[in-house]
Every structure is written in C-alpha cells, then in structure tokens.
C-alpha cells in the first residue's frame, strides 16, 4: 500500500539507464546552476537590508575590512547572518532528504514531524521554570527538546508491525505538536514574561543568533552531515524495501538508527539556532530530485547546496518586503512551502502515497 516510491524509483532507473550520459550531464549542469545561485544569493544577502548597498560595494567590503561603515555592516552583521543561513539551510535540507528516504515518505519534513514543537516546548520550560533570558541559554534546551521530539515521533510513527506509513508519521507529528503546544501555551499564558520571551522565538530567524552559539552547535551539525554522507549508499538500497536492502547486504536496522541520529543532530541543531525554519526540508529534496533522479547520494549533496539558496533567498525577500523592518525567514518559507505541500498531495493521485 505504501511502497510505491520503490516502484517509482525502479521505473525511473530503467528510464535513466537508457539515457545515462544525459543524466550525468544534467547532474553536472544542475550542480553548476546551484553553485552559481548560491553565490548570487549569498551576495544579495550581504547587500540587502535596512541599509542597502549595491552588490558591487558589498563585494568590495567583503575583501577589504577597512573600518568603513559598509565594511562594518557586512562583516559584523550580514556575513555572520549569511553564513548561519547557509549552515542551517544545509542542515534542514539534508535532514529533510534523510527523513524522506528513511521513511520512504515524500511528505516528511522535520518541521511537520514535530521538531519545532519539541524545541519550543523545551525553551518554554527553560524560560518558565529555569529563568532563561538570553538566546544562548535557549540553544541547549531547544536542542534537547528537538531531539526528544524527533525520536518520539519516529517511535510513535513506526510502532506496531512494519515500517511507518507516511500518514501515520505526519499525524504523529501533528498529535505530538498539539500536546506539547498545549502545555507550552499554558505555561506562556500564566506568565507574561514567558509569553513575551517566546512569542517571537518560534518564528524562525537567522538574525538573532550570535557567532558563539553557532560555533557551539557547529560540531553537531557537521557530525550530522558526515553521518548523512556515509549513509547515502545504504539509503539507496533501503529505497528498494527493507527485505531487498537486507539481501543486498545493508544493515537496515543500523542504517535507520544512524539516520534518525543524523536527522536529530541536523534538525535539532538548526532549530536550536533559528527557532525552526519550516518546509525547507520538505521542498528542497523534491526540487533537486528533478535534476538528480532517485540516487540518494546526489539528492543529499544537492540538498546540502540548494537548501541554503532557498533560505538565503527567503531571508532576503523578508528583508526587502517589510523594510525598514523585516519578516522572519521562517514565515516566508511557510508562505512558499504550504502551497508546495498542497500541490504535492494534489499531484500524487493515490498511487504516489
């Protein structure tokens, strides 16, 4: 009932085998396009903002740290923000690709699966009971909460016999988010300070985290990326179904545990730094699959490079539309991402899911 991605992948493989040279050309060309787009998005990200400058000037300021106003803005505000965007973008994109592959579920996304709710709940506890007051204190609570929620949703979704079905996982995420959200709402409503501290935390922003917190979380994100890359080959055989994967020599159980660990590190760490940027992990793997075909190694590589483009672009849009204020990047991605999710379920008529 829920196994068609394997069948679909098989069909695509047959198709690809007939046109293999063009597939390689397409993958290489796509990679080039993404790298160029990433460079452009990065340059825009250091150029636009409350105090806009031309990309040429921003480029100059990047290379000469000479104490002028432009160079100060670029080096102290916009460059860290852009690098953080690249980092968390990669993390969310790869986490999405991983969880879609692990669950064979094209609708999986770290945000939909309750990671945000877990992080938000933990931060609420931190503020309400432990008196946290600054963003660097939030990071570890958020990380723990996100990790616990990911593991819990995965366990709920895969309870019973057989692998987790797409609908069950999504609903487990919704249910857990509802429960955690209910408790968090209660804690914020009984205390105005908690309410004040938390109402903007979960929006998803790359503007407020400092370099120190980023560096503290960086090792976890890198570890998650490394596991993801090592795991990519096994994911290809898992796409064929657990039995076939086992007969091809993949240790399915170990691969799943490592995969969930990587998702937890990536999504948890990135959510801790930003408050959660939804739908990136859902959209990017879908789009890159048009270029790469079903090979997980390419999907993960592409997602790691393409997701930052989306995050930076959304961030720039949020800075440009609401000038002199700005709209958080997580809101922009939700506004783009929800229609994409709806289009996906409308396109896949019963067969796909």
Partner 1 sequence: MNREGVAFGYRTRTLRHRSFSGRVSVRLLTVSAALFLSAVGLTVVALTHGDYPLTIQQVFGALTGGERGFERTIVVTWRLPIAIAAVVFGALLGIGGAIFQSLTRNPLGSPDVIGFDAGSYTAVVVAILVIGTGSYWWIAFAAIAGGMATAFVVYVLANRRGVQGFRLIIVGIGVSALLGSVNSYLVSRAEIEDAMTVGFWGAGSIARVSWPPLVPAMAVAAAIVVSAALLSPAMRRLELGDDAAVTLGTRPGPARLGLIVTGVATVAVVTAAAGPIGFIALAAPQLARRLTRSAGVSLVASAGMGATLLAGAHLLSLLVAQAYRPVPVGLITVCLGGGYLIWLLIRETHQRYGLTL
Question: Given the rule CB under 8 A, which residues bind partner 1?
Answer: 1, 107, 111-112, 156-157, 159-162, 165, 167-168, 170-172, 174-176, 178-179, 181-183, 185-186, 188-190, 192, 195-196, 199-200, 202-203, 278-279, 327-328, 330-331, 334-335, 337-339, 341-342, 345-346, 349-350, 353
Query: 79-102 and 20-47 helices cross at what angle (nearest 10)?
Result: 150
Min dist. Cβ of residue 326 to partner 1 (A): 11
How far is the C-alpha of 241 from the C-alpha of 99, rounded, in Å?
15
Query: 79-102 and 296-321 helices cross at what angle (nearest 10)?
Result: 140
Min dist. Cβ of residue 196 to partner 1 (A): 6
Min dist. Cβ of residue 6 to partner 1 (A): 19
88 contacts 277 by C-beta, under 8 angstroms: yes
Cis peptide before 256 (omega within 30 of 0): no
- Which of 85/318 has CB closer to partner 1? 318
- Which of 8/185 has CB closer to partner 1? 185
CB atoms within 10 A of CB 248: 13
- Which of 70/146 has CB closer to partner 1? 146
What stretches of 67-208 show up as alpha helix (H) in DSSP?
69-72, 79-102, 115-130, 135-157, 166-189, 192-198
Nearest CA to 92 among 77, 112, 78, 118?
112
Min dist. Cβ of residue 57 to partner 1 (A): 31
- Which of 184/238 has CB closer to partner 1? 184
- Which of 103/296 has CB closer to partner 1? 103
Min dist. Cβ of residue 188 to partner 1 (A): 7
Min dist. Cβ of residue 248 to partner 1 (A): 26
Min dist. Cβ of residue 22 to partner 1 (A): 33
- Long-range contacts of residues 174-179, Cβ cutoff 8 Å, at least 24 apart: 174/112, 174/114, 176/114, 176/117, 176/118, 176/149, 176/152, 177/114, 177/116, 177/117
How far is the C-alpha of 151 from the C-alpha of 157, rounded, in Å?
10
DSSP one-letter code for 187: H
- Which of 138/220 has CB closer to partner 1? 138
- Which of 205/292 has CB closer to partner 1? 205
């Amino acid at each position: 009932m829920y196994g068609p991605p394997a069948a679909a992948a098989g069909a695509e493989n047959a198709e690809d085998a007939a046109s293999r040279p063009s597939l390689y050309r397409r993958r290489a060309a796509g990679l080039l396009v993404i790298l160029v787009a990433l460079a452009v998005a990065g340059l825009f990200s250091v150029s636009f903002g409350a105090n806009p400058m031309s990309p040429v000037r921003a480029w100059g300021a990047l290379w000469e740290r000479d104490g002028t106003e432009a160079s100060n803005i670029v080096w102290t505000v916009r460059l860290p923000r852009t690098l953080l965007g690249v980092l968390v973008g990669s993390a969310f994109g790869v986490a999405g690709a991983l969880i879609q592959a692990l669950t064979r579920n094209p609708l999986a996304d770290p945000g939909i699966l309750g990671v945000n709710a877990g992080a938000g709940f933990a931060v609420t506890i931190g503020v309400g009971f432990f008196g946290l007051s600054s963003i660097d204190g939030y990071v570890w609570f958020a990380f723990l909460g996100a990790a616990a929620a990911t593991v819990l949703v995965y366990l709920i979704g895969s309870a019973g016999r057989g692998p987790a079905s797409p609908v069950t996982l999504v609903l487990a995420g919704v249910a857990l988010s509802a429960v955690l959200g209910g408790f968090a709402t209660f804690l914020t409503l009984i205390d105005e300070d908690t309410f004040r501290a938390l109402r903007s935390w979960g929006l998803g922003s790359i503007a407020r985290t400092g370099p120190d917190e980023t560096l503290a979380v960086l090792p976890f994100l890198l570890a998650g990326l490394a596991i993801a890359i090592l795991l990519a080959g096994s994911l290809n055989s898992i796409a064929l179904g657990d039995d076939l994967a086992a007969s091809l020599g993949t240790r399915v159980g170990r691969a799943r545990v490592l995969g969930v660990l990587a998702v937890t590190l990536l999504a948890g760490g990135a959510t801790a730094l930003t408050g959660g940027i939804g739908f990136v992990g859902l959209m990017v793997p879908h789009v890159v699959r048009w270029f790469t075909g079903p090979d997980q190694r390419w999907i993960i590589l592409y997602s790691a490079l393409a997701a930052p483009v989306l995050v930076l672009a959304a961030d720039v849009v949020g800075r440009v539309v609401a000038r002199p204020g700005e709209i958080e990047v997580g809101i922009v991605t939700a506004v783009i991402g929800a229609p994409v999710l709806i289009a996906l379920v409308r396109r896949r008529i019963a067969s796909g899911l």
